[in-house]
Structure 1
Amino acid sequence: MTTLRATDWKQLQNGSDIRGVALEGMAGEPVNLTPEVATTLGKAFVTWLGQTLARSPETLTVAIGRDSRLSGPALMQAVAAGMTALGTRVYDFAMASTPAMFMSTVTPGFDCDGAIMLTASHLPFNRNGLKFFTAQGGLSKPDISRILALAADHDFAIASEPGSLQSHDFISVYAQQLVQGIRQGVNHPHHYDRPLQGLKIVVDAGNGAGGFYATQVLQPLGADTTGSQFLEPDGQFPNHVPNPEHATAMAAIRQAVLAQQADLGIIFDTDVDRAAAVDAQGRELNRNLLIALIAAIVLTEHPGSTVVTDSITSDGLTQFIEQDLQGVHHRFRRGYKNVISEAMRLNEAGQACWLAMETSGHGALKENYFLDDGAYLVSKLLVELARAKLAGNTLGDRIATLKEPAESREFRLAIAAADFASYGTAVIEELQAFAAAQADWEVVPKNYEGVRITCRSPQEDGWFLLRLSLHDPVLPLNIESNVSGGCDRIRQRLLTFFAGFDRLELTPLQG
């Protein structure tokens, strides 16, 4: 029996996921996600699932998969042992992706009652975690709290006969779904089965779980994947951080695209729920550019519909979506679950929304269960790439009118206060009052997070957003400007304001 206190269990919660330290090796980070803890979490999940579905754990089928992390095999075995101890049938998918685990709950022939992915996304090698799914999607924050409460109580009904553990190659099933979707989407008049024939596409999996996309999706479709890199799973992540937001990672795929003279480069994060791309000219298609490109595709399919994004997207993206594409841009909050939930809420309220996307690379489409799936997202790009080639166009033509800022910077101001949330909220409120008193600054209406200010001076010509971090004692500050030196001018004015707050670490802003 585990000896963790209830408060220790709560510390494993990271929003709608569970995350912890699974391996030693980092100073000041004691291991708290042990195999024993994982076994208890397996029991807690099937107990919660049984209560939710009004069924006993013995009648449930749950799939489990993992990414390339070193702690994955041991933790996966432990979670499975916890579930089978309560009589649940468990499917072992071995190496998988987070989106594939969800798809196991809606794929005929599997129709799993629940699924678990062992991953900690792009975090360091010593971390790991659990993401949970049912056919309704990923679990919510209250669901995770309930599972952790069940783990803390440790009151489980052990089955008289353990459940079975069966191995399945589900990633091949999932890959075939993507293959069929691309074939149908392109509908090539001469090469239906191989619609990517004649295209060179480079994949960078960052030594995570995404290598299958090159071998099981692109190659069967006829693409030349020469030059693809870091496809081999390696939980040490020896080449670069598997994160499409990271500059080193994007530089790696960009270099590969240019060296191979490829038509497109694709990069995934560790568990393939995020992605980015690089076009034939070496332009990085991430953040605002990737949202713009996917929005252009989606708004062609669903004219006039709404695109939900997080709070730090650019003014140029809003103009592109609303003026050039004749859609609606609903700029919401940071956090991919927030963005997806808002899109679903809008649809329920009667406002058509087919795309929810965060600048981090999380992108979810209504046509795909609002699942943030990096592989599905780039598959949409590949359909568009193949169609563009047939028409004598390029992928970049779709976003030719997108206005990009001249400069963009982010600063993270640490809060040294016990009640950091209250302190940060007070700073935001005072900044809003300060900005409202400036002749050339204007508080942006319909802002759902922090305070966003438009800077109308020709010397600044941009905007900034100050918000409270979702999890950390930090005030992230994003600044964009359409003129050279504009970010620095805005920064200097803000530095004067922030100087009045002695609990803020202003060093990042002073450089």
Structure 2
Amino acid sequence: MVDLMKLQNGSDVRGVAAEGVEGEAVNLTPDAVNLIGQAFVQWLSNRTGKEAKDIRIGVGHDSRITAEKMKEAFFQGLFTAGASVYDCGLVSTPSMFMTVVFPEFAFDGSVMITASHLPFNRNGLKFFNPDGGLEKSDITEILTIAKTLTPATSDRKAESCRSLDAYTKSLRKKICAGVNAEDYEHPLKGLHIVVDAGNGAGGFFVDQVLAPLGADTSGSQFLEPDGMFPNHIPNPENKQAMEAIRKAVLDNHADLGIIFDTDVDRMSAVLPDGSEVNRDAIIAMMAAILAKDYPGGTIVTDSVTSDRLTVFLEKELQMKHHRFKRGYKNVINECKRLNEEGILSPLAIETSGHGALSENYYLDDGAYMAVKLLIAAALAAKEGKALGSFIEKLEKGIDEREYRMKLTCEDFASYGQNVLAQFEERAKAAGYAVAPNSYEGVRISFDSEDVKGWMLLRLSLHDPLMPLNMEGVRPGDCDKMIAIVRELLNGFDKLEVI
């Protein structure tokens, strides 16, 4: 039996679910999934005070090749524990959360079978209850319960549930109300929008959201579910994926391109001229769209955002930039915390394309972000403006780089923390501007005639790696910063310095 605790990946469960990659043995087995299903019912029963027989759980999946096998194993676990089970089929992760919110379902919990953008052989489980996505501690608790159980089967059957229909209806209503067009039911008429679903679960956005609202969707691509992901990695951070949607926009002379990750909790976009709206740009775009409704609001981002983004948010939008830790649950929880303390924070968003709005249950929902983008595009078109005007004052990046330096020792976490402490101490001694409020790693800004830009050195949460992100304002600035890094990290023999 596999070690169930090793299947935890932060606030999700992830593992190898299929053979096919050398050196990667299957550890997310049907038996493991069965036990996790049983444990989830027990966890929900403990949390809600309901008996297992009264608990209702929805289950959906993306296009992965192991989806059906995993779903059946998970069903068996849920049935064995006594819960009622609803099969939502091929859906998006955000739509599964909505099954615990929408009154026509009101499930006690829901689960999405997905491993986001990871390779074909991987799969995983994302869990929701009415409070949102489960926390890391909740997953630890579920896996701890699962360790005490034994795999079992049942002859019960899941009830079919068309939850995606209700979800897409809510998205269409949001767009109609937001645009308030003269032709109310067709607010996207006259807009040419291409979608790249990367052969994941996002193809529904074309047929069930865009087309019914009047949009021209010709040129949309890779909408068919295919868990081998034959065209490109379904990941808005991937250069090949972004080039694919960029080419589709230019080739089809579209007004907007939208690209989703596998399970549609992330998105990025491309403007008519081929400009990519991802990383810092997608954060700037969403903030600019929200600025009017949330004046002076605080935008929570991950740690690797640029100084130029801070200037745009604070000087152009008159908002506040709160740079926090990497990890979508980290930025979401920080956004929640700020609002609970009375600090207006409408958006938690990572450069990866994970974006959660306070107005939408703090749910990282790529389709909802696309809806906000579409409303803005339609309203801008009414006024004869381009969507790109929202971020025209965001300074363009010149040279962005990321290095992942290996730590070659057993106790890499302690060694890495010492590296960070020494790195910061040496940087201050050299007179460099070290950010006083870094929640993750050490951030240095440069603004001299010799070098302009910023860098962030941090320690990976799970792996023996120290990622180094940097951005130069001028050609050659990054090369100069690399020389500074080597000087500041001199003598660390267990770190493979660039």
Partner of 2:441: 450
Partner amino acid for 1:357? Answer: I
Is 1:180 aligned to residue 155 of structure 2? no
Distance in structure 2 (CA, Å) of the matches to 1:252 and 1:487: 28
Distance in structure 2 (CA, Å) of the matches to 1:148 and 1:86: 15
Partner amino acid for 2:75? Answer: A
CA contact (8 A) 2:298 2:347 kept: yes
TM-score scaled by length of structure 2:
0.98
Which one of the candidate residues 104, 129, 132 is aligned to 1:137? 132
CA contact (8 A) 2:305 2:351 kept: yes
Is 1:194 aligned to residue 186 of structure 2? yes
Partner of 1:409: 401
Distance in structure 1 (CA, Å) of the matches to 2:92 and 2:41: 21
Partner of 1:106: 101
Partner amino acid for 1:319? Answer: V
- CA deviation digits over 1:110-142, x for unaligned, max 9? 000000000000001000000000010000011
Distance in structure 2 (CA, Å) of the matches to 1:67 and 1:124: 13
Structure 1 unaligned spans of 5+? none
CA contact (8 A) 1:335 1:470 kept: no
Partner of 2:474: 483
Secondary structure (helix, strand or coil) at the match of 2:85 reads strand
Is 1:470 aligned to residue 465 of structure 2? no
Which one of the candidate residues 210, 216, 221 is aligned to 1:224? 216
**Following TM superposition, by how much is the alpha carbon of 1:85 offset from its aligned partner in structure 2, in angstroms?**
1.6
Partner of 1:262: 254
CA contact (8 A) 2:300 2:324 kept: yes
- After the TM superposition, which parts of structure 1 deviate over 4 Å for at least 4 consecutive aligned residues? 161-164
Please report the RMSD computed on the Cα atoms of aligned residues, expressed in angstroms. 1.3
Which one of the candidate residues 76, 91, 102 is aligned to 1:81? 76
Partner of 1:252: 244
Partner of 1:237: 229
Secondary structure (helix, strand or coil) at the match of 1:11 reads helix
**Following TM superposition, by how much is the alpha carbon of 1:300 offset from its aligned partner in structure 2, in angstroms?**
1.1
CA contact (8 A) 1:272 1:373 kept: yes
Secondary structure (helix, strand or coil) at the match of 2:469 reads strand
Distance in structure 2 (CA, Å) of the matches to 1:265 and 1:469: 32
Using the aligned pairs only, state the percent identity. 52
Distance in structure 1 (CA, Å) of the matches to 2:99 and 2:156: 19
Secondary structure (helix, strand or coil) at the match of 1:334 reads coil
Partner of 1:121: 116
- CA deviation digits over 1:462-511, x for unaligned, max 9? 111001112211100011111111011101121233231111123xx2xx
Partner of 1:345: 337
Partner amino acid for 1:460? Answer: V
- CA deviation digits over 1:253-280, x for unaligned, max 9? 0000000000000000000000000000
Q: 1:155 to 1:50 in 2, by over 3 A?
A: farther
Is 1:497 aligned to residue 488 of structure 2? yes
Secondary structure (helix, strand or coil) at the match of 1:92 reads strand
Partner of 1:431: 423
Correspondence 1:295-334 to 2 at 5 A:
295-334=287-326
**Following TM superposition, by how much is the alpha carbon of 1:346 offset from its aligned partner in structure 2, in angstroms?**
0.5
Distance in structure 1 (CA, Å) of the matches to 2:398 and 2:213: 38
CA contact (8 A) 2:199 2:227 kept: yes
- CA deviation digits over 1:284-312, x for unaligned, max 9? 00010010010011111110111100111
**Following TM superposition, by how much is the alpha carbon of 1:163 offset from its aligned partner in structure 2, in angstroms?**
6.0
Distance in structure 2 (CA, Å) of the matches to 1:280 and 1:253: 11
Partner amino acid for 2:216? Answer: D
Partner of 1:31: 26
Distance in structure 2 (CA, Å) of the matches to 1:37 and 1:450: 35
TM-score scaled by length of structure 1:
0.96
Secondary structure (helix, strand or coil) at the match of 1:330 reads strand
Partner amino acid for 1:277? Answer: A
Structure 2 unaligned spans of 5+? none
Give the paired residue count.
498
Distance in structure 1 (CA, Å) of the matches to 2:435 and 2:423: 13
Distance in structure 2 (CA, Å) of the matches to 1:470 and 1:232: 34
Partner of 1:379: 371
Distance in structure 2 (CA, Å) of the matches to 1:314 and 1:250: 20
Which one of the candidate residues 167, 171, 185 is aligned to 2:164? 171
CA contact (8 A) 2:284 2:312 kept: yes
**Following TM superposition, by how much is the alpha carbon of 1:381 offset from its aligned partner in structure 2, in angstroms?**
0.2
Partner amino acid for 1:242? Answer: P
Partner amino acid for 1:44? Answer: A
Distance in structure 1 (CA, Å) of the matches to 2:406 and 2:23: 19
Partner of 2:347: 355
- CA deviation digits over 1:359-389, x for unaligned, max 9? 0000000000000000000110000000000
